[in-house]
Structure 1
Amino acid sequence: MRVPTFIALGVAAFMGFSAGGAAAADCPRGTLDARFCDRNGDMVADVPEAKDQIDPATLIFAYTPVEDPAVYAKVWDGFLKHMEKTTGKKVQFFPVQSNAAQIEAMRAGRLHVAGFNTGSNPLAVNCAGFVPFTMMAKADDSFGYEMEIITYPGSGIEKVEDIKGRTMAFTSETSNSGFKAPSALLRAEFKMEAGKEFKTAFSGKHDNSILGVANKDYDAAAIANSVMKRMIERGVIKADQVKTIYKSQTFPTTGYGHVYNLKPELAEKVKQAFATFDWEGSDLKKEFEKSGEAKFIPITYKGHWEVVRKIDQAMGVSYACK
């Protein structure tokens, strides 16, 4: 598959740094950057020695940049106040404009707690020392979303093959449902490759792709249906402005966690904040119940992100930091 220049540059943009730190022969790390160790085999960075641990006076939190940051600053406000009480720290919401910027912020030490979207989780884990431990789920503990390929009524596109010769929008190269999964599936199931059988556009965010289709700016788009459901519930688009022509298997949703070098006692309090948050009456519930979420459940990167890593492998994605 020919990789668009945008992708090659985008993936490299936040990985262009020199690896250093832990490099001893007794430091197994798998695909993790050379700064990290993984002695217990859980595929995330181990807690470093005490001298390398951090205990910030203010915890910086960022939500994955899939939609309007201003909207989500309010949505997360009640939860962040709960985290302040649980941790005894000030907590500040940090709006990020791209997956690359979010990963770079954590790698540089400017971001301590975050929700990384499905596709960028592996890069955050391997290059920034992200340690995901929870995600949202429905009341019955079920979780996940599907990648959908959507178009607009009257587009002339009734099935995936009809996209040939048309323009299809992706979000960004780090997005699972917005780029990696649809690219792999289109190639494997329909023998269609970007830049050959169809033209591509990159919108930057799921809501941009969805709005672009609804407004007939794009012929089709690959999106996370959880985002689309919330946009329909909020009245941003009407359900009859789009139609689905393909729906994937279920993927894990945004993974929430902390940077690997938080002081263990503080990291444990961050986990407690997620585990003890009362969803009832919260803005978080009002927003996320639109796509079914009603609680946080414990997860592991090694287990829950296996399907995502398999797609990355099929796509030839490297987690190496340079």
Structure 2
Amino acid sequence: MTRTTNLLLSTVAAFAVSVAAPLAAFELDPRFVDNDGDLVADIPTDESEWVDPDTLIFAYTPVEDPAVYAEVWQPFLDHMAEVTGKNVQFFPVQSNAAQLEAMRAGRLHVAGFNTGSNPIAVACAGFRPFAMMASLDGSFGYEMEFITYPGSGIETVEDIAGRTMAFTAETSNSGFKAPQALLEAEYGLFVDVDYTPAFSGAHDNSILGVANRDYDAAAIANSVMTRMVERNVVFPDDIVTIYQSDTFPTTGYGTVYNLHPELQEKVQEAFFTFEWEGTSMAEEFGRSGEEQFIPITFQENWSVIRQIDEAMGVTYECQ
């Protein structure tokens, strides 16, 4: 179940007022078709366009230390290999752009794209998301937080004026798009006018940057911060939260559109039959209340993210 509530929607609506004209509906790159109207690329009807690799390449959303997550994901990758009958390789990515380009170029078959990158991956790379991590009761998502460090002089959102605000990347929902919309719509703070932006590349980089006082403030996903605190990478006393949003959907997992349809079904089976208990996946993601994979749809679960993109005037330039 989702927990996104009226505050986020009112923020989108408030910012949308400043947009001169409504944007066109969400559209896929012309090389994809969507005959069933579910907003994701259809599997090609021409079997010659299907790909059936000996090795499936999997990538998790960019993090500061991909090697750590390669070990975390290994039990799941072993399970996917068993279910699909394929070799499965973890592909460490350093940026959202690199991950998107890898799928668009055919070098990435299965992936977890972060919240803000999901619409771009769907529109430009033929990404077909079908799963999300959730707690055992079926609830899912994370909150965007504005954080600073003790003694920074920033006690309210308004105090960000004149300071350096760290974002992650322009494709990130909680790391850039939603906070920028909120700062403009609710607080009248405009990037490059009222505060100086910095781009760290990842949520953990932003969190460490604030803890080390390299940035005055940052917009981050609190699920990432929870896991970092649990691992003692940062400590609660290093961080002060001055704002917390309502809940957003989290990383969406899926396949590239032209993967052999039977293989796509097997990949989905691997996600929904994985036994979490006692694994490194449970140890790592359980810290933020994520303990299973549940089915999702891009059309329903990412509707609020598409609203934010529309409110901000985001368009997708698929190269």
What's the TM-score once normalised by structure 2's chain length? 0.91
Alpha-carbon distance in structure 1 between the residues aligned to 2:195 and 2:64: 26
2:40 counterpart letter in structure 1: V
Count how many residue pairs are aligned between Structure 1 and Structure 2. Answer: 294
Corresponding residue of 2:38:
42
* Aligned equivalents of 1:179, 1:149: Cα separation in 2: 11
How far, CA to CA, are the matches of 2:206 and 2:318 in structure 1? 29
1:103 aligns with 2:107: no
| Counterpart for residue 153 of structure 1 | 150
Offset of residue 30 of structure 1: 5.5
- Indicate yes or no: 2:29 matched with 1:33: yes
User: How big is the shift at 1:239?
Assistant: 0.6
1:91 aligned onto 2:88: yes
Q: Quick check: 1:30–1:38 contact (8 Å CA) kept in 2?
A: no
> Offset of 1:67 from its aligned partner?
3.3
Q: In the alignment, what sits opposite 1:138? A: 135
Q: CA deviation at 1:321?
A: 1.6
1:1-322 maps to which residues of 2 (within 5 A)?
Answer: 31-48=27-44, 49-322=46-319
Q: Which amino acid aligns with 1:44?
A: V
Secondary structure, counterpart of 2:82 in structure 1: helix
Encode CA deviations 1:149-201: one digit per residue, 9 max, x unaligned. 00001101000000100111001000000000000011110011110111111
Separation in 2, partners of 1:59, 1:163: 44
1 CA distance for matches of 2:190 and 2:136? Answer: 39
Give the Cα separation in 2 of the matches to 1:118 and 1:274: 18
**Offset from partner CA, 1:90-149 (integer Å, 9 cap, x none):** 000000000000000000000000000000000000000000000000010000001000
Kindly provide the amino acid, as one letter, of the partner of residue 112 in structure 1. H
Unpaired runs of 5+ residues, structure 2, are 1-24
Residues in 2 aligned to 1:217 and 1:45: alpha-carbon distance in whole angstroms:
42
Q: Measure the CA separation in 2 of the matches of 1:309 and 1:288.
A: 26
For the 8 Å contact 1:32–1:319, the answer to whether it is kept is no
Please give the alpha-carbon distance, in whole angstroms, between the structure 1 residues aligned to 2:284 and 2:64.
Answer: 12
2-structure distance, mates of 1:185, 1:307: 14
What is the Cα deviation at residue 74 of structure 1? 0.1
**Counterpart in 2 of 1:18?**
none
Deviation at 1:319, TM superposition (A): 2.1
Distance 1:267 1:77 in 2: 20
The letter of the residue matching 2:30 is A
Distance 1:32 1:209 in 2: 31
1:162 alignment partner, SS class: helix
Q: What is the alpha-carbon distance in structure 2 between the residues aligned to residue 166 and residue 33 of structure 1?
A: 38
Residue of structure 2 in register with 1:14 after alignment: none
Distance in 2 of aligned mates of 1:125 and 1:43? 8
Percent identical pairs in the alignment equals 70
Shift of residue 230, structure 1, vs aligned partner: 0.3
The aligned counterpart of 1:12 is none
Q: Is the 8 A contact 1:31 1:320 kept in 2?
A: no
SS at match of 2:116: coil
C-alpha distance in 1, partners of 2:241/2:105?
40
Gaps of 5+ in 1: 1-28
Q: Which 4+ runs in 1 deviate beyond 3 A?
A: none
Structure 1: distance between partners of 2:267 and 2:104: 19
Q: What is the deviation of 1:247?
A: 0.7
Alignment-mate amino acid for residue 307 of structure 2: K
SS of the residue corresponding to residue 184 of structure 1 reads helix
The separation in 2 between residues aligned to 1:38 and 1:72, in whole angstroms, is 34
Higher mean alpha-carbon deviation, 61-70 vs 271-280, is at 61-70
C-alpha distance in 2, partners of 1:226/1:123? Answer: 22
Give 3-state SS (helix, strand or coil) of 2:305's partner.
helix
CA distance in 1, matches of 2:203, 2:310: 23
**C-alpha distance in 2, partners of 1:59/1:321?**
24
1:33 is aligned with what amino acid? D
